[in-house]
Amino acid sequence: MVQQLFTQGSLFDLQTVIDYGQSVINVAQELAKVLIDNRPLSTKTVQAQMNRYFLGSAASGAWQWKDAYEAVEVAQILYLRHLGIRILSQQPQVVVQQLEELTALCPTQTRRSEESVQLQQFSTPLPLAYLVAKAGFIKADDLILEPSAGTGLLAQMAKLHSASLMLNELAPDRTKILRRLFPGTPLFSVNAEQINDYLVGKTQPSVVLMNPPFCASPKINSRNPDATPRHINSALQRLADGGRLVTITANWFSPNNPTWRETFVKWQDFARVLMSVGVNGKVYSKHGTQIDTRITVIDKVPADSSEIPCITQYLCQFTRVQRL
């Protein structure tokens, strides 16, 4: 019946009457039921729910697989809201294992849109998000800034610690999802490479959790490895004195890499790099890649000297990274 209202030549486009953010969440609510029952989430199930709530199929152009993968990620967030507190009350090794088991139930993200490739939209896998939040030592009175919030996986981990949030996301569709997922939360949509400039006069966060694009910048088609330090530097400027920043980067962005050593040295004037830990790329396999990554922890307090502290590095299996 609804489809008949949008015949060829109609003044209205079907997509204009669909609330994208709410539709993704509606799909995610159905998918979360499967995950909560500890059942594998098949591609067929995802496809059926997308067809239902987007009033058409991917073949007809009603939705893209990128939208479906966003819904799968939101389903994981809804799972955390249902069972997360119980999960986080356990030992870190057990938490990581349970989150790995949860992500294993989800389909692999094998089809990417042009936007997701250009902006390097690889969301944070839940086990990695847990470790990043753990490294942040989040307290209930913290204000958390996530400069590249994506679908909200890192933000939800912070929320489980009862912290307040400030979110930023440049992609319009993801912003629509975040607005529905985190109502009442300050939400910005700016290039996070200049987030300190955009948020002048705003409250400064006490913790920054971030997973910025590794080498991509808006409106720049070529690879831009300077994107990573620009994101981190601007977030550090915005961070309150004494605060902590925890970031995921590509493994090559290391204080022991001669290319980036000077960048870390400059940060020593007002910040202290506590640790930089390599993470096996297998953690990203469900997100359609296996790039090795790195967790770096920086406190916004002056370093004791101009020398970079000795940083223990682990090129190890992901499940051992809980040594953080």
The class of domain 109-323 in CATH terms is alpha beta
DSSP 203: P
Within 10 angstroms of residue 42's Cβ, the number of other Cβ atoms is: 13
By DSSP bridging, strand 244-250 and strand 293-299 are antiparallel
Residue whose entry in the numeric block shows the structure tokens 């059926």: 48
Quick one: tokens of 130?
Answer: 């847990």
What are residue 182's phi and psi, to 5 degrees? -125, 65
DSSP string covering 106-135, please? Answer: SPP-----HHHHHTT--PPPHHHHHHHHHH
Say how far residue 24 (Cα) sits from the centre of its chain: 17
Beta bridge partners of 293: 250, 279
pLDDT confidence of residue 187: 97
CA distances to 7, 183, 248, 254, 315 from 295, in Å: 52, 29, 5, 10, 12
pLDDT tens for the chain, residues 1 to 324? 444 444 444 444 444 468 999 999 999 999 999 999 999 999 999 999 999 999 999 999 999 999 999 999 999 999 999 987 788 888 999 999 999 999 999 999 887 555 554 555 578 999 999 999 999 999 999 999 999 999 999 999 999 999 999 999 999 999 999 999 999 999 999 999 999 999 998 899 999 999 998 765 555 555 677 889 999 999 999 999 999 999 999 899 999 999 999 999 999 889 999 999 998 878 887 877 778 899 999 999 976 644 444 333 323 333 344 333
Quick one: tokens of 142?
Answer: 């913290």
pLDDT confidence of residue 223: 63
The torsion region of residue 69 among left (phi > 0), alpha (psi -120 to 50) and beta comes to alpha
Within 10 angstroms of residue 274's Cβ, the number of other Cβ atoms is: 15
Distance, in Å, from the CA atom of 155 to the CA atom of 149, rounded to the nearest integer, reads 7
